[in-house]
Amino acid sequence: MTKEILLTAAGIAMAASPLAAPAFADSSGWSGMSATQAWTYETHRVERLAFGSDVMDPIKMGDAVLIAEPSASCHLAPCDVMAVSLMRDGGRVAVDGVPRSALDANLYAKNGDRFLFAKPSSEGVFAFYEWDLSTGQVHTRVSQVTMPGASNVSLHADNRGTYFVTADIRFSNARQSFTQRALYVYDAEARAVRPAVGSANFKDRRLDVLDAVNGVALVKMTFPDRSKQLWIFDSNHILNTAGRAFEIRGTWTDASGDIQFGRLLAATPYAESVHSAVQTAYHIEFFKQFVRHTMVSWIDEEPVRRGETLNWYGDPAASIKLRGDTMVWVNADQEVYESHGSNAKKLGTAVGHAFMLAKDGTVTFSPAGQNIWFTDRTASAGVKAGLDANGNVYLSQGNQTINVGFGTSPVVTSDARVYWRGTDGKIFAARLHTTPAQQTTLVSTVLMKRDGDPKVYAVANDGTVRHIATPAVAADLFGRDWPRHVRTVGEGAFVPYAVGAPITSAADAANLF
């Protein structure tokens, strides 16, 4: 029999303020991205970007590329607060204080291609933001929400604009102390944030929202013994005086198992003939123990075991991509499947477990037998990034496919740049030359200038840094497009180098570059 809990909304009502003016006023301005080293080849240019060694792999969200590293505000490791850069045209927009949990491509897709995050403004007070990845602007969606004792706050938005909020809440009194992963709901009309589930009913449980549609959230509940189960929470009730939560029968797994992924495809009224009452039918698709299941509540007695499996090597979420009601995934045998919520279709075998899902729902991958597997492409499909079995990174544009370096996780931006993590843990970027004027033969040359100083310097082979005296000399040495390769750096970038004599002519540069 289905368990049902009536959840009172009485108790702490979280104070909230409505929409406010955009925040992060400085984040909408694009700035140059510094490089610590650069190599210019006949066909392309490669840069090692000035990110730290603890930087995350590049992340693709829609057509945007994000690169994140721990915020300078972090004093303990591991850090869940990130400084994130949106990369484009060789520059970036940087936003600090973004929760690590927001850096999830599938969450971005489930939120309707919206990058949402919460950030504390003071102790126990948070604001909700939306980062427009097409413009770089960050907008405030809710200016003030009071959540005493909250941390690690995540936002999930449904198609109606309802915000589901999960947060770690620390409770402590003379008799007990525990941390709950709590669930809240914000209603824009009521301008209120209320607990979605009472702590008395869900003490010591972890509630993680997997998806939300029509005011209904699909939640993975983790119990104190680490067993898991899927639940439904319907905010259409809690916005009055009470809420209703249901367990989804047949989804429980013990502590050794897990529910790797779940999505809620629909929440629609359903007339149940036995009781002559209108219920809500929840159409659910999920992977339990790496096996795909589906269920329509009030119709199916138990989840239907579909049998297709999910790749269990590495992060399971990295083997799934979403676009609208289309879900595409790859299994451990490199077989690619597509589902729209019920039956799945096998699309083929993808070398390297790599596939791409375009905005229009088109799925592409490199079939078995190919030496290069492409992992990402631009929206127009004109530029692709890929790998081979030896870790070589490739950039393909038109009829050119160039090996640009070594590493993992290559992604491309709309301006035809590829970003990847190198074997040294650093982030690299490369772009093919598009005109003869951009082609030079010099290799391993870094051009840079200090903040506030117009002088341009080059790092020589002898370990010195040399001032390039005139633009004419720079053009002779580095090509007519030399200004676009200059990176503005802090004073610290000059510390490793001795200062050599200035370069006043091409003759002065003999054997130095």
- Its pTM stands at 0.79
Three-state SS string across 278-306, please? EEEEEEEEEEECCEEEEEECCCCCCCEEE
Predicted local distance difference test score (pLDDT) of residue 230: 96
List the domain boundaries for the chain.
1-33+90-247, 249-357, 438-509
- pLDDT higher than threshold 50 for residue 437: no
Contact 344, 307 (CB under 8 A): no
The Cα–Cα gap between 397 and 139 comes to: 35
The Cα–Cα gap between 385 and 376 comes to: 5
**DSSP 8-state class, residue 57:** P
Predicted local distance difference test score (pLDDT) of residue 495: 55
Q: Of 210-219, 234-243, 305-314, which range is least confident?
A: 234-243
Rounded to 5 degrees, what are φ and ψ at 71? -65, 150
How confident is residue 287, by pLDDT bands cut at 50, 70 and 90? Answer: very high
Average pLDDT over residues 196-203: 57
Q: Of 2-16, 102-116, 378-392, which range is least confident?
A: 2-16
**Of all residues in the chain, what percent carry a pLDDT higher than 70?**
82
Q: What is the largest CA-CA distance in the chain?
A: 93
- Compute the Cα dihedral for 79, 83, 84, 87 and give only its sign: negative
CA distances from 118 to 135, 151, 330 (A): 20, 10, 32
Predicted local distance difference test score (pLDDT) of residue 60: 94
Contact 165, 186 (CB under 8 A): yes
- pLDDT higher than threshold 70 for residue 45: yes
Average pLDDT over residues 235-250: 70
Helix-, strand-, coil-residue percentages of the chain, each rounded to 5: 10, 50, 40
pLDDT digits (tens, 9 = 90+) for 170-191: 777 777 777 788 888 886 776 6
Q: Of 3-7, 82-86, 490-494, which range is least confident?
A: 3-7
Identify each DSSP E strand in 100-132 by its residue range: 115-122, 125-131
How confident is residue 27, by pLDDT bands cut at 50, 70 and 90? Answer: very low
- pLDDT higher than threshold 80 for residue 202: no
Q: How many alpha carbons lie under 13 Å from residue 88 in its C-beta half-sphere?
A: 15
Predicted local distance difference test score (pLDDT) of residue 101: 92
The Cα–Cα gap between 359 and 363 comes to: 10
Closest by CA position to 126, among listed 160, 102, 92, 93: 102
How confident is residue 99, by pLDDT bands cut at 50, 70 and 90? Answer: very high
Q: Which residue has the higher pLDDT, 339 or 268?
A: 339
- pLDDT higher than threshold 70 for residue 274: no
For the beta sheet containing 259-272, the strands, ordered from the edge strand earlier in sequence to the opposite edge, are: 259-272, 277-288, 291-296, 304-309
- pLDDT higher than threshold 50 for residue 346: yes
- pLDDT higher than threshold 60 for residue 272: no
- pLDDT higher than threshold 60 for residue 9: no
Residue positions counted in the chain = 513
- pLDDT higher than threshold 70 for residue 239: no
Place of tokens 């005011």: 215
Contact 456, 447 (CB under 8 A): yes
Predicted local distance difference test score (pLDDT) of residue 241: 47
- pLDDT higher than threshold 50 for residue 383: yes
Identify each DSSP E strand in 71-176 by its residue range: 81-88, 91-99, 115-122, 125-131, 138-146, 150-157, 163-172
Place of tokens 């210019």: 40
CA distances from 225 to 44, 92, 242, 257, 289 (A): 55, 44, 28, 12, 18
- pLDDT higher than threshold 50 for residue 59: yes
Predicted local distance difference test score (pLDDT) of residue 439: 37
How confident is residue 228, by pLDDT bands cut at 50, 70 and 90? Answer: very high
Beta-bridged to residue 458, according to DSSP, are 447, 466
* Spatial CB neighbours of 484, under 8 Å, sequence gap ≥ 6: 90
Secondary structure of residue 486 in the 3-state scheme: strand
Average pLDDT over residues 157-178: 83
Q: Which residue has the higher pLDDT, 481 or 469?
A: 469
Average pLDDT over residues 225-233: 93
Average pLDDT over residues 48-68: 92
- pLDDT higher than threshold 70 for residue 134: yes
Reading the block at residue 62, the tokens are 């829609």
Q: How far is CA 332 from the centre of its chain?
A: 23
The Cα–Cα gap between 513 and 511 comes to: 6
* Spatial CB neighbours of 30, under 8 Å, sequence gap ≥ 6: 88, 89, 91, 92, 93, 136
Average pLDDT over residues 214-242: 82
316, burial (CB in 10 Å: exposed 0-12, middle 13-18, buried 19+): middle
How confident is residue 445, by pLDDT bands cut at 50, 70 and 90? Answer: low
Name the pairing type of β-strands 372-377 and 383-388.
antiparallel
**Of all residues in the chain, what percent carry a pLDDT higher than 90?**
43
Reading the block at residue 213, the tokens are 């549609």
Contact 445, 456 (CB under 8 A): no
**DSSP 8-state class, residue 199:** H
Q: Of 167-176, 225-234, 327-336, 437-446, which range is least confident?
A: 437-446
Average pLDDT over residues 100-122: 93
Average pLDDT over residues 489-511: 74
pLDDT digits (tens, 9 = 90+) for 417-430: 999 999 999 999 99
Closest by CA position to 98, among listed 32, 180, 155, 51: 155
Average pLDDT in the chain: 82
Q: Of 132-146, 308-322, 373-387, which range is least confident?
A: 373-387
66, burial (CB in 10 Å: exposed 0-12, middle 13-18, buried 19+): buried
Predicted local distance difference test score (pLDDT) of residue 430: 93
